[in-house]
Structure 1
């Protein structure tokens, strides 16, 4: 590996352990994607005809889907970070007639994939609000090192047992994601902070307000980004009309305009983009007051951003691993696009002698509110 970079691979059926030398030597590339709702990984191994991976490990089930757990830890400048804690979901073998050109590709997802295996449609939750259902479901996965952090929807929708007894439909993951979408929340499983530990988060799409070192472009020797491009989509922002029925008569439709302003992600710009579209929520009349309030808050929580940016950086030149769901500064792009951004997703691409990241950023307008970003 590169100087200043160390990648640790723990793998194995059931309990992951440090990979044997034959597996590490055959590993040619690693890719890890960290997105808004889920994360995934892909390991590529270069094989010879007599490779132990072909003759022993593969037949013995070392890379079998679901049962094989994978943990990846990257240490950059002495700071370790758990990039992935997940399970194998797919393997592909590509034999080649050329010596040493055969490859084995192992693909997987984070531990939330284990929540998507069994359909528990009909499982009852008598008199339980959403937050109690989420904690009850996530308790099934405590043995995997998953610690739940769940924030109750606002306002809580508590069913009355004599009138309504909610039941689960679909798998655990699909049901929790459904509950999250109804409240405008997100649900994901974040690996770390230590190997073998993960956090299952159910709540609003919060971003850690600690800025990471700036991404610098067009600054000669101070540049630490290989490429960076921006896009301004004027049709992303919109005003939503939430139509409810008059509670007195139950017949008169009352439209409630919901602005495209996120209360959880403050504006980072002096010129926020104006909403140019108007949409209506047509199925809102059936909602009770608590559910209607949840959905309205959900629309506010998930306000779209008009400005997006994408790029590529070299981790060792940047000096650290860029993390998603946090803030990062941008400089060198000019007055309109410099400033702070939210990091939406990051893809790690690691090969021997190379560690790069592709990233996606977003914010709501032009011209930064902050005169200077952390370098």
Structure 2
């Protein structure tokens, strides 16, 4: 359903679907009242959205959003779909958690703000800590995550779980994993222990989502390059980079010999399967960071903790910028690679998109974004266009 100006936007359309559990397209009167959309897609944290409407006394928005924000409808789901050049993409699939009304000079200028988070918000509503059935004997983290995510299949959530490098199966006589906190908190804790991330990616079809538990994906086919200072070939409005050579540290894990009880220090490099380099020149770690209490764990578990900390080592190159979607030609996605050209040999090359913010108004669709990578100088001789 086209609602935001075909004129000057090259066929960009926005579809809004709302409903309890199973959303449906909203009526035209709701679309006419929609004035602005903001969507945030970070690489690790939960996605969020804000919808702004003009509100009149007789508007159906009073019952559609305001009452649900007050708790009458426990789960009001919102799906936003952007279609550019005939290609639809789900921007957000989430639930409403807050509504506010900003009165204006008259009823035509009163605005309604509807705010919410992605489907990870549903995973925080119930606390399962300490309830019967929460122990998971002889189950590795991968099996626990799959079991927890099975409860959310009714929302169209499909799990995608990548096994860790060294699967740690706990022996019941030694320890039994027990859930603490909400499902989301526990799943993210399990991901941090092995250097993984957890997020819910909306799409590819409306009403479906992928619950991803695995390493950051810094490989694959990159998105079309971001071109700066290339005259007519430029497709970004702004783009700048910074370099911090002191950002890296080297985690140090202590493994205890079971016979002699002598702790053995073991440094863990931050370059590996969890964090492949995208730059050729990167300074060595500036400091050692000993991890506490790793000697009391099994060697496998201690190594996983060390690799998890190594994967978190800060990227030395970061970038920020903004673009117009119609000039770029498609929607830039977070959690993927993108090429950069025209900035200079130090920063040209592939970068990882850490965050994307969508700002949509009538006749305008812009994005701001953040990039990161380890090292200067591209690992590729030529950046694909």
Q: Specify the TM-score bucket, using the shorter chain as the normaliser.
A: over 0.9
Equivalent position of 2:11 in the other structure? 4
Moved more, 26-35 or 279-288: 279-288
Equivalent position of 2:353 in the other structure? 343
Moved more, 35-44 or 318-327: 35-44
Moved more, 89-98 or 229-238: 89-98
Equivalent position of 1:309 in the other structure? 319
SS of the residue corresponding to residue 146 of structure 2 reads: helix
In structure 1, which of residues 156, 177, 184 is the aligned counterpart of residue 188 of structure 2? 177
Q: Distance in 1 between matches of 2:287 and 2:270?
A: 10
Task: Decide whether aligned partners of structure 1 residues 350 and 137 sit closer, same or farther in structure 2, where only a CA change above 3 A counts.
Answer: same
Q: Distance in 2 between matches of 1:43 and 1:23?
A: 11
Q: Distance in 2 between matches of 1:59 and 1:164?
A: 48
In structure 1, which of residues 17, 24, 38 is the aligned counterpart of residue 24 of structure 2? 17
1:45 aligns with 2:53: yes
Kept in 1, the 8 Å contact 2:218–2:276? The answer is: no
Q: How does 1:140-159 map to 2 (within 5 A)?
A: 140-159=151-170
Kept in 2, the 8 Å contact 1:49–1:100? The answer is: no
Q: CA deviation at 1:287?
A: 1.3
SS of the residue corresponding to residue 152 of structure 2 reads: helix
Task: Decide whether aligned partners of structure 1 residues 356 and 66 sit closer, same or farther in structure 2, where only a CA change above 3 A counts.
Answer: farther
Q: How does 1:1-375 map to 2 (within 5 A)?
A: 1=4, 2-37=9-44, 38-54=46-62, 56-58=63-65, 61=68, 66-122=74-130, 123-250=134-261, 252-375=262-385
SS of the residue corresponding to residue 206 of structure 1 reads: coil
Task: Decide whether aligned partners of structure 1 residues 96 and 306 sit closer, same or farther in structure 2, where only a CA change above 3 A counts.
Answer: same
For 1:188-216, what per-residue CA distance to the aligned partner results, in whole angstroms no more than 9, with x for missing partners? 11101100000111112223411111111
SS of the residue corresponding to residue 335 of structure 1 reads: coil
Task: Decide whether aligned partners of structure 1 residues 254 and 154 sit closer, same or farther in structure 2, where only a CA change above 3 A counts.
Answer: same
Task: Decide whether aligned partners of structure 1 residues 99 and 374 sit closer, same or farther in structure 2, where only a CA change above 3 A counts.
Answer: same
Q: Distance in 1 between matches of 2:337 and 2:255?
A: 37
Q: CA deviation at 1:104?
A: 0.9
Kept in 2, the 8 Å contact 1:226–1:313? The answer is: yes
Kept in 2, the 8 Å contact 1:121–1:170? The answer is: yes
Moved more, 281-290 or 80-89: 281-290
Q: CA deviation at 1:283?
A: 2.0
Task: Decide whether aligned partners of structure 1 residues 120 and 77 sit closer, same or farther in structure 2, where only a CA change above 3 A counts.
Answer: same
Question: What TM-score, normalized by structure 2, do the two folds share?
Answer: 0.92
Q: Distance in 2 between matches of 1:145 and 1:217?
A: 39
Q: CA deviation at 1:334?
A: 1.3
Task: Decide whether aligned partners of structure 1 residues 128 and 218 sit closer, same or farther in structure 2, where only a CA change above 3 A counts.
Answer: same
Paired positions, count: 373
Q: CA deviation at 1:258?
A: 1.4
For 1:333-365, what per-residue CA distance to the aligned partner results, in whole angstroms no more than 9, with x for missing partners? 112111111111111111111111111111111
Moved more, 240-249 or 14-23: 240-249
Kept in 2, the 8 Å contact 1:30–1:351? The answer is: yes
Question: What TM-score, normalized by structure 1, do the two folds share?
Answer: 0.94
Q: Indicate the RMSD between aligned Cα atoms, in angstroms.
A: 1.8
Kept in 2, the 8 Å contact 1:154–1:293? The answer is: no
Q: Distance in 1 between matches of 2:343 and 2:307?
A: 34
Structure with the higher strand share, 1 or 2: 1
Structure 1 spans left out of the alignment, 5+ residues: none
